[in-house]
């Protein structure tokens, strides 16, 4: 198995952009979809488009089976203890909001404390701010150093007997640093504090064994791991999910509805109100199979070579400032956020686009990270195993050319 074999499964990689071969370096925003994911979605929508958990007719039975067997596949993928610990949502944002609301309703009172890190995506900041505003609780922040790393001693000092939950990213979508989530969970559990991990980037770069790490909640999106858009997962330990009230009310999350009162369904159904995304959820199955294919040693070796090449080229340019400097090869994923002296990130991204290169520019939905490093925005490239050394070399040449045009 090699990169060429993988690329054959992704039809969009044959696209031309302004007459140039597409170089897709924006995988941290959304990954591309393999043919198996596209085929799964097309098959369901063209042949078995029916609402789930309702009808007894054949279409509804097939759609329901596809949806529910996906729950089993995700359980195995995360090594969760039971399928009841897997809740389907619309994405990482929805998963975190669910916990912030439902956990907050059950366990957070006035004066209690929530801890997040400085390296978080807005989706793992704003829901907790909303909770703190609603409950008159306190939000505390774990800072990062100049290279983007947490100080775990500082984490321990932030925890008090009023700390109710710690929410941290497994891998920053800006810095690309792999955070020591196992150590974070251990420290928090020593103080009987549960931990939510934002796995939006981590799920596709190494994944997680939720029982080994022992996290209490884990959230991720399908569209960043080669599945369809509009689908996400929340893993939660059963003891927490059972104790949390529903996030939304409506069909299918109930056991009985009377005007005298409503009783809710068991976990996970009580968190899946209304019509679920029954066409997109099953695409997690072929997406997970693709992730497993990409774990091939040869493919990972090629990706690591590309990562090392880009790191060397970017850090070797005195006009470039790289944010998120790794302490070792395996402490950073193939994601590089940087700025170029005298060049606006938006201008640079626009020129690269004309060269066929899809890169991200701006704040990456992480304004506090920008504030930490004193910039208004950055440019980011993020790679997947289908990206090649040829693309990396073309990017460096194009970057040099674009910068020379702007200076």
Task: Give the pLDDT confidence of 184-213 residue by residue, as tens digits.
Answer: 999 999 999 999 999 999 999 999 999 999
Contacts of 55 (CB under 8 A, 6+ apart): 61
Q: Which residue has the higher pLDDT, 330 or 268?
A: 268
Q: 190: helix, coil or strand?
A: helix
- C-alpha span between 253 and 238 (Å, rounded): 17
Which pLDDT value is given to residue 5?
93
Residue span(s) of the chain under CATH 3.40.640.10 come to 38-290
The structural architecture, per CATH, of the domain 3-32+296-406 is Alpha-Beta Complex (3.90)
Task: Check pLDDT > 90 for residue 73.
Answer: yes
* Candidates 132, 188, 215, 365; catalytic one: 365
Q: Would the pLDDT of 364 be above 70?
A: yes
Please give the helix or strand (H or E) that residue 323 lies within, else none: strand 320-323
**Tens-place pLDDT, residues 135-159:** 999 999 999 999 999 999 999 999 9
Q: 207-240 pLDDT, tens per residue? A: 999 999 999 999 999 999 999 999 999 999 999 9
Residues 251-270, mean pLDDT to the nearest whole number: 95
288-310: per-residue pLDDT in tens? 999 999 999 999 999 999 999 99
The reply to whether CATH 3.40.640.10 applies to domain 38-290 is yes
- The whole-model pTM stands at 0.97
* 365 tagged catalytic: yes
pLDDT at 407: 86
pLDDT for the residue numbered 327 = 81
Residue 330: the pLDDT is: 64
Round to whole Å and give the CA distance between 232 and 221.
4
Per-residue pLDDT, 97: 98
Q: Where are the domain boundaries for CATH 3.90.1150.10 in the chain?
A: 3-32+296-406
Give 190's contacts (C-beta < 8 A, 6+ positions apart). none
**pLDDT at residue number 329:** 59
pLDDT score recorded for residue 302: 96
Strand ordering across the sheet containing 138-142: 86-89, 232-236, 217-221, 195-198, 163-169, 113-117, 138-142
Average pLDDT, the chain: 96
- Answer left, alpha or beta for residue 46, where phi above 0 means left and psi between -120 and 50 means alpha: alpha
Torsion sign (Cα): 285, 291, 392, 333 = positive
Question: In angstroms, what is the C-alpha Rg of the chain?
Answer: 22
- Say how many CA atoms lie within 13 Å of 20 toward its Cβ: 16
Report yes or no: 286 and 73 within 8 Å, Cβ to Cβ. Answer: no
């Amino acid at each position: 198995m090699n990169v060429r074999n993988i690329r054959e499964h992704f039809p969009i990689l044959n696209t031309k952009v302004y007459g140039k071969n597409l170089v897709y370096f924006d995988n941290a925003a959304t990954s591309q979809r393999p043919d198996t994911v596209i085929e799964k979605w097309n098959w369901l929508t063209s042949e078995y488009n029916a609402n789930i958990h309702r009808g007894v007719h054949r279409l509804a039975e097939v759609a329901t089976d596809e949806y529910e067997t996906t729950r089993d596949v995700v359980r195995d993928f995360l090594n969760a203890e039971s399928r009841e610990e897997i809740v389907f949502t619309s994405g990482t944002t929805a998963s975190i909001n669910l916990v912030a609301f439902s956990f907050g309703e059950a366990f957070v009172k006035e004066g209690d404390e929530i801890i997040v890190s400085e390296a978080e995506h807005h989706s793992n900041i704003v829901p907790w701010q909303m909770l703190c505003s609603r409950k008159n609780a306190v939000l505390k922040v774990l800072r990062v150093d100049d290279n983007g790393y947490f100080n775990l001693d500082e984490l321990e000092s932030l925890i008090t007997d009023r700390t109710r939950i710690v929410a941290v990213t497994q891998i920053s979508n800006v810095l690309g640093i792999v955070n020591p989530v196992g150590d974070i969970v251990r420290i928090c559990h020593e103080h009987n504090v549960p931990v939510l991990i934002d796995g939006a980037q981590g799920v596709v770069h190494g994944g997680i064994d939720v029982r080994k790490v022992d996290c209490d909640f884990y959230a991720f999106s399908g569209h960043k791991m080669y599945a369809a858009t509009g689908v996400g997962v929340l893993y939660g330990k059963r003891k927490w999910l059972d104790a949390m009230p529903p996030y939304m009310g409506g069909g299918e999350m109930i056991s009985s509805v009377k005007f005298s009162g409503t009783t809710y369904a068991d976990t996970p159904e009580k968190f899946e109100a209304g019509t679920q995304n029954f066409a997109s959820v099953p695409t997690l199955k072929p997406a997970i199979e693709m992730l497993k294919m990409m774990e091939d040693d040869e493919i990972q070796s090629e990706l690591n070579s590309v990562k090392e090449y880009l790191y060397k080229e970017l850090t070797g340019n005195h006009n470039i400032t790289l944010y998120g400097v790794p302490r070792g090869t395996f402490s950073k994923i193939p994601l590089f956020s940087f700025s170029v002296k005298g060049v606006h990130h938006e201008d640079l991204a626009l020129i690269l686009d004309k060269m066929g290169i899809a890169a991200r520019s701006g704040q990456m939905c992480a304004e506090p990270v920008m504030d930490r490093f004193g910039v208004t925005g950055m440019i980011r490239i993020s790679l997947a195993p289908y990206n090649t050394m040829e693309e990396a070399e073309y990017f460096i040449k194009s970057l040099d050319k674009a910068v020379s045009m702007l200076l």
